[in-house]
């Protein structure tokens, strides 16, 4: 067990959890350094909210938010930086300035994305998503859709070592499907790629516990703990310090020799 904790940094005015807190570059940069001090292994920076009912952002506006933060951070941090985008244009610009992971929530909807990933070594997160919710889908069906998407990327020339898969918790899924994907996350690991789990503060946790977004720490930690014990190798979270401490404790227990 060797879990990598990805800290979420939203440079947006309207994200569901922390919208507006880090929209100014100086605040975002300060928060990035705080997360690294708290133990973040990766920073994931996003400029577009993907909360339920969000308004899509064009690539030009997205890059205008990202560029000052990335240009200030990248020369000054020792951890990998990821950009959360589904725009191939934004991904290309981010890779050009030194970003090493593209975290795409769209299941590679932008057909130019495979081309952008050519000629560099950036990793790519393929997240399960679809145009509409289908409550009849089983976890095996969802895994099959991820497999098909990954195979298209491999056919386009992306090396397997650069792929990460994400079950897409909170995206195009019913409450039960979200829980089932966590419960059976090992099926995603059987695809043979690192598995990223992103559950932090999401609505299904609020539904389960009857809590507002600012009260979902414990529920988030429970989903992370279950996920890493059953195959997740990366977790994407808002609460970095608490998650890192929990993961390090789980690792200590996991690594101890039998008495």
Tell me, what's the pLDDT at 54?
A: 64
Which position among 202, 216, 241, 248 bears the catalytic label?
Answer: 202
Tell me whether residue 236 is one of the annotated catalytic residues: yes
Which position among 236, 241, 245, 248 bears the catalytic label?
Answer: 236
Tell me whether residue 173 is one of the annotated catalytic residues: no
The tens digit of pLDDT for each residue in 107-118 reads 999 999 999 999
The tens digit of pLDDT for each residue in 147-203 reads 999 999 999 999 999 999 999 999 999 999 999 999 999 999 999 999 999 999 999
pTM of the model: 0.94
How far apart CA 138 and CA 140 sit, in angstroms, is: 5
15 — pLDDT class (breaks 50, 70, 90): low
Cβ neighbours around 230 below 10 Å, total: 17
CB 163 within 8 A of CB 188: no
The owner of tokens 């099926």 is 187
The tens digit of pLDDT for each residue in 110-139 reads 999 999 999 999 999 999 999 999 999 999
- Mean pLDDT of the residues in the chain: 94
How far apart CA 37 and CA 154 sit, in angstroms, is: 36
């Amino acid at each position: 067990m060797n879990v990598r904790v990805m800290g979420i940094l939203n440079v947006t005015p309207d994200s569901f959890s922390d919208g507006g807190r880090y929209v100014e570059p100086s605040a975002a940069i300060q928060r990035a350094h705080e997360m690294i001090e708290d133990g973040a292994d990766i920073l994931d920076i996003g400029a577009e909210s993907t909360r339920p009912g969000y308004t899509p952002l064009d690539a030009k506006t997205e890059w205008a938010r990202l560029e000052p933060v990335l240009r200030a951070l990248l020369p000054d941090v020792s951890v990998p930086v990821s950009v959360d985008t589904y725009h191939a244009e934004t991904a290309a610009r981010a890779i050009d300035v030194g970003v090493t992971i593209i975290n795409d929530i769209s299941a590679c909807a932008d057909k130019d994305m495979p081309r952008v990933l050519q000629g560099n070594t950036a990793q790519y997160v393929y997240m399960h998503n679809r145009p509409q919710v289908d409550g009849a889908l089983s976890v095996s069906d969802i895994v099959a859709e991820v497999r098909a998407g990954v195979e298209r990327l491999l056919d386009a020339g992306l090396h397997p070592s650069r792929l990460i898969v994400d079950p897409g918790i909170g995206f195009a899924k019913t409450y039960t499907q979200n829980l089932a994907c966590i419960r059976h996350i090992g099926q995603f690991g059987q695809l043979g790629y690192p598995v990223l789990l992103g559950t932090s503060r999401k609505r299904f946790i609020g539904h389960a516990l009857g809590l507002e977004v600012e009260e979902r720490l414990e529920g988030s930690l429970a989903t992370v703990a279950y996920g890493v014990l059953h195959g997740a190798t990366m977790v994407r979270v808002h609460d970095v310090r608490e998650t890192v401490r929990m993961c390090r404790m789980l690792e200590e227990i996991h690594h101890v020799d039998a008495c």
